[in-house]
Structure 1
Amino acid sequence: MIWLQTKKVAIVIAGALLNAAGMNLFLVPADIYSSGFTGIAQLLSRVLDDYTPIHVSMGLLLLILNIPVAILGWKKVGRSFTIYSFISVALSSLFLELIPVKPVSEDILLNSVFGGVIVAAGIGITLKWGASTGGLDIIAMVLSRIKDKPIGPYMFILNFAIIITAGFLYGWEKALYTLVFLYTSTRVVDAIHTRYAKLTAFIITKKADELKKAIHAKLVRGITMIPAKGAFSNETRDMLMIVITRYELFDLERVIKEVDPNAFTNIMETSNVYGFFRRD
């Protein structure tokens, strides 16, 4: 368990470093804006510098923006996910202060693409190990725990507002290159983690009762138990069906490995869910 936690912290550190490097070496020098809370911090820092005598660094703004979200996540989601997510945000803020803003290339298209790849790699590995880069990811978890609310429209509205504001203040060409970054980063996150917000897990096990209790202790999700029988062995087993969000995949995988390492698990992408899929 200690080894697993150590590895998870190392992954979070690596993800935060990649995120900050992508920002300070590619996006910030080219005036290309990131998505989510990072984009807000980046744009707000630039606006304060240009239109007021106040200077607040992007790293500090990112940390400040995530504090109320972290408090909300602590109360509504759970300690583990929120702690690791806030560690990721704090480290990203620190690395944004430590890594100098220095362009690697003068080509704005290369900055858009490679910045998107590097930032998304940091986000993707962080998500894959059961944490997040904060901001909208925590809000998505809160919404999924309270009601079956998709985060997509909120992300679209926020990112659209960032692009429109950046275009209005600093030119539409930079705003269009921001769209290139958003497309590239989305594709890379999809490749590393999963593009679907919801997943369905089918778990065939001989330890259905133990596994059910362990999953319920970790996740607030309903489980459907289906009788199953092996075609070759003719043995009777149980199949558990559970719908989860992509943020819960890491916890589910760890629970299955701990309770029944021999269980057969099939994870399927789920495009739509009708009705609540939480455990009441």
Structure 2
Amino acid sequence: MIWQESKKIVIVIAGALLNALAMNLFLIPANVYSSGFTGIAQLLSKVLSDYTPIQLSMGILLLLLNIPVAILGWRKVGKSFTVYSFLSVLMSSFFLTIIPIKQVSQDILLNAVFGGVILAVGVGITLKWGASTGGVDIIAMVLSRMKDKPVGPYMFILNGIIIVTAGFLFGWEKALYTLVTLYTSTRVIDAIHTRHAKLTAMIITKKAEELKKAIHGSLVRGITMIPAKGAFSNETRDLLMIVITRYELYDLERIIKEVDPNAFTNIIQTTGVYGFFRRE
């Protein structure tokens, strides 16, 4: 467990470093904006420096924006996910402060594409290891745990505000290149992590009771248990079916490896869920 947690911390720090490199070397020098809370912090920092005497770095603003979200996540989502997510935010703020802003390329399209790709790699590996980069990801978890509301419309509104504001203040060409960054980063994150908001896990195991207790101890999800029998071995097993969000995939994989490493697990896309999607 210590080795596993140590690897997770290293991955979170590496993801934060990639995020900061993408911002300070590509997106910020080109005035191309990121998505979510990172984009809001970037936009606020630019507006404050251009239109007011107040000078606040993007790293500090990103940290301040994520403090109330971290408190919400601590209360509604869980301590482990929130701690690692806030660690990601803290390290991103640190790297954004110490890495100098330097323009690598004069081509705004190259900045938009490479910035989006590097940013997405940082976000993708962080999500894959069961943490997040804070902000909207924690809000998505809270909404999913409370009422299973999709976060897509909120992301669309938030990113729409960033793009429109950037267009009005700094020209619509910058806003269009921001769209390029958003599209690039979304595609790369989907490739690294998973593009499906909800997933169905079908677990065939001999340790159904132990696995059920372990899953219920970590995830707020219901489980359907179905008797199963091996066609070749004729051995009796149990099939556990559980629907999760993509943010819970890492925790589920970890639980299965700890309780029954020999379990056969199939993760499939879930296009829709009807009825209750949480365990009271």
Give TM class, smaller chain.
Answer: over 0.9
Task: Confirm or deny that 1:257 pairs with 2:257.
Answer: yes
Counterpart CA distance in 1 for 2:272 and 2:42 is 33
Aligned twin of 1:86 = 86
1:275 Cα offset (Å): 2.4
Aligned twin of 1:228 = 228
Aligned residues: 280
Indicate the SS of the match to 2:101.
coil
1:251 Cα offset (Å): 0.5
Whichever residue aligns with residue 266 of structure 2, its letter is: N
Whichever residue aligns with residue 229 of structure 1, its letter is: K
Counterpart CA distance in 2 for 1:271 and 1:17 is 34
Counterpart CA distance in 2 for 1:104 and 1:39 is 20
Moved over 4 A (4+): none
Aligned twin of 1:107 = 107
Aligned twin of 1:56 = 56
Listed one character per residue, the Cα deviations across residues 88-137 of structure 1 (whole Å, up to 9, x for unaligned) are: 00000000001111011100000010000000000000000000000000
Q: Percent identity?
A: 81
1:276 Cα offset (Å): 2.4
Counterpart CA distance in 2 for 1:195 and 1:42 is 26
Counterpart CA distance in 1 for 2:275 and 2:42 is 38
Aligned twin of 1:217 = 217
Aligned twin of 1:44 = 44
1:271 Cα offset (Å): 2.0
Structure 2 unaligned residues grouped into runs of 5+: none
Indicate the SS of the match to 1:237.
strand
Counterpart CA distance in 2 for 1:6 and 1:276 is 36
Contact 1:147/1:276 (CA < 8 Å) preserved in 2?
A: no
Aligned twin of 1:98 = 98
Structure 1 unaligned residues grouped into runs of 5+: none
Aligned twin of 1:134 = 134
1:197 Cα offset (Å): 1.1
Counterpart CA distance in 1 for 2:275 and 2:40 is 33
Alignment of 1:119-268 (within 5 A): 119-268=119-268
Whichever residue aligns with residue 99 of structure 2, its letter is: I
Whichever residue aligns with residue 242 of structure 2, its letter is: I
Whichever residue aligns with residue 115 of structure 2, its letter is: G
Give the TM-score normalised by structure 1: 0.99
Contact 1:148/1:275 (CA < 8 Å) preserved in 2?
A: no
